[in-house]
Amino acid sequence: MITELKQYTAKEICEGFVYNELEGKGLFGLNGKLTIQPEYQRNYIYADGKRDVAVIESMLKNYPLGLIYFNKTDGGQLEVLDGQQRITSIGRFVTGKFAIKMNGMEQYFSGLAKNQQDTILNTTLFVYECEGEEEEIKEWFKTINIVGVPLNEQEKLNAIFSGPFVTLAKEKFSNSLNANLSKWTTYVKGNVKRQEILERALQWVSQSDDVSGYMSQHRYDTNIKELETYFTTVIDWVSSVFSDVEPEMCGLEWGRMYELYHKNAYNPAKVSERVQALMADDFVKDKRGIFEYVLGGEVDKSLLNIRLFEPSVIKSVYAKQTQEAKAAGTSNCPICAACDNNNRTKIWDLKEMDADHVTAWSRGGATDISNCQMLCKTHNRAKGNR
């Protein structure tokens, strides 16, 4: 099967647009050269005042409409494989079949300002034109519709925003011969050929998961300096702060962490010592959280998912503490027992107490019975906040 990426304006596509109101089918476009609804296509379902309107609104905002696929038939005719709904919406709007709401008013195409009409007509549609045996095409069409699109998000965006910027960016970030690749993939997860390293680089520099805005803005740039510099800066920062290389580092949100922490000063030797200690700590269940935990000054323990005391340990410590407290006539919370108020002799229920590390976990205290005490919830919380 041969595929070729082409561009058409909405105006070209809508030339000679024919819509069959009765059957709900967009029939022809491109001056009759394009069959919009081949037999195996489902009927037009966008005529609900929402999805059809959304297509037009996207065009007015210059949002990408996504890839469209045409099939080239033997006679040189084209038929829509994927994109029928979008094309039919555009054709119906341009030929006055429905209105959109603008500033609370219904607006048909003919009522729009000239510049808005032009925005719609000049919208570029990116089309993959495919040529192959009918069976092959149908099989492939099934794949993109049912099994999933063979192109991933970044691959689609690369096609939509094709131009000098994408070409340069791919040379750098999608090149399996790039000498920096092994260093990059220490920290960045993904398949270089499926554009996943590039995707991450774009996410970092744009500080967003949706990179389409950035790509659209830089589409015609003839250099990728900002993208390259930012990516390299993040990688260099990580590798200078963390001198050790751990498999758990791969795929972390380094771009976000760079933004949060790069202004802090770190002593790499000290950082390494802490990382190694935490890596070896059996109580740290989430090893991937160690790096941000250290960057943040070892405050947010929730990043580490610390192993808790076993319920059997809690029960047995509670029983022992309560028995001794009752015998002594004091509270079973040792801190309450030392207070000078009504709680001094209060015996708390198990559910009113929490297990506490006598020597804090962060100071090397173990999570076992020898280092477990029960505190009333108030005192446990107070201690945790210190």
Which positions lie near Zn ion, rule CB under 5 A? 333, 335-336, 376, 379
Could you tell me the smallest distance in angstroms from the CB atom of residue 345 to Zn ion?
12
The two structure tokens encoding residue 234 = 């993040």
d(CA 273, CA 188) in angstroms, rounded, equals 23
Place of tokens 């994927």: 82
| CA within 13 Å, CB half, 349 | 2
d(CA 373, CA 243) in angstroms, rounded, equals 38
Could you tell me the smallest distance in angstroms from the CB atom of residue 350 to Zn ion?
14
DSSP run (H or E) holding 35? strand 34-35
Could you tell me the smallest distance in angstroms from the CB atom of residue 344 to Zn ion?
10
Could you tell me the smallest distance in angstroms from the CB atom of residue 373 to Zn ion?
11
Could you tell me the smallest distance in angstroms from the CB atom of residue 340 to Zn ion?
13
List C-alpha distances in Å: 2 to 40, 73, 269: 21, 12, 56
Pick 34 or 325: Cβ nearer Zn ion:
325
- Dihedral sign (CA 306, 311, 316, 321): positive
Pick 129 or 352: Cβ nearer Zn ion:
352
Question: Can you list the alpha helix ranges (DSSP code H) found in 27-133?
Answer: 51-60, 84-94, 114-121
Pick 26 or 334: Cβ nearer Zn ion:
334
Pick 86 or 379: Cβ nearer Zn ion:
379
Pick 200 or 357: Cβ nearer Zn ion:
357
Pick 141 or 348: Cβ nearer Zn ion:
348
Could you tell me the smallest distance in angstroms from the CB atom of residue 377 to Zn ion?
8
d(CA 174, CA 191) in angstroms, rounded, equals 9
